[in-house]
Structure 1
Amino acid sequence: MDSLLAWLRARGADCIPHSGGTLYGHLTRTCLHVVRWGASAHVVRGALFHSVYGTRSFRHRLLSHEERPIVRSLIGGDAEQLVFLFSTLDRKKIFSEGNKVPPVCRPERVLRELAIIELANLADQVASPQPPTSVHANTSTRVLLAHIQFLYGASRTDAAASDVSWQR
């Protein structure tokens, strides 16, 4: 993992603003959430690189899609697939339509792994040093709850809604 962290720094991830800090900080914190949640190794590596290609809301690209073979050689094919999908899919739409698994996310395991990375991504952004606007916080809360419902079913969503606390 140290070599991947050094590689991201060498590419300039620690100089790109993101979530009130740097892209490097955001990537590492997102990865730490996924590690704490006990995700498999390829999901952890995917989380570490999750927005290096940019996303619909984070337009700065550390790497272009043409560099996918380089990323694949660094983190592995399954992890790179998650990174690519994270950068190209409309995640909010996909997770709000939980019953409709897009063909690119089959088997469904891929969509669940994306949901784990997205939960970690949102958890880091909600807790960022740059406080979210109330609109952003409300949207993030709804999206987080939709992800929890997608991953665990409706019964967990009600419990999560009553237990959510946004601590800094």
Structure 2
Amino acid sequence: QPLDGAENSPNLLRMAGITERLERKGARVHDYGDLHFDIVENDGEFVEGCKFARTVGKANLQIAERIPLIMKTGRKVLLLGGDHSVALGSVTGHTRFQKDIALIWVDAHPDINTPLTSPSGHLHGMPVGFLCKELPHITPPVPGLEWCTPCISAKNIAYIGLRSIDPEEK
């Protein structure tokens, strides 16, 4: 994410009282805290159409591995992230626990670009492109994201709030 501040989103939501509000609605909340992600050395270059793919991939692999562990306890997972690149790990993690899922994507953008179609190379505009079972033929292998395989069908994705769609996403 090229804009500063996105990494503060989870803590700002906590400070705004998201836990208390969910508890008032009857949810039993357990905050597992923040995952800490390391920046992969020499990862700033544009690799296979993606920026920072190794760093984003490594972080999302941690998310993908953690989510099924939490779900095995019977809990539901609410992941608070800074940008939509965290969907690579969260959706993959959910499908590792339960294969057939539906996804409600709330965003101004469909985020279904691939490394071959993205005008920016930012992974927060590509998670659905990597996750969608119908697109592997136009999603090349990317170093750092080898673990991320398509896991959801386009027919199981509903979009809310779209207002800006790149030409190649149509």
- The normalised TM-score by structure 2 is 0.30
Could you say which structure has the larger radius of gyration? Answer: 2
Flag the structure with higher strand content: 2
Which gives a bigger RCO, structure 1 or 2 (Cα 8 Å, sep 6+)? 2
Flag the structure with higher helix content: 1
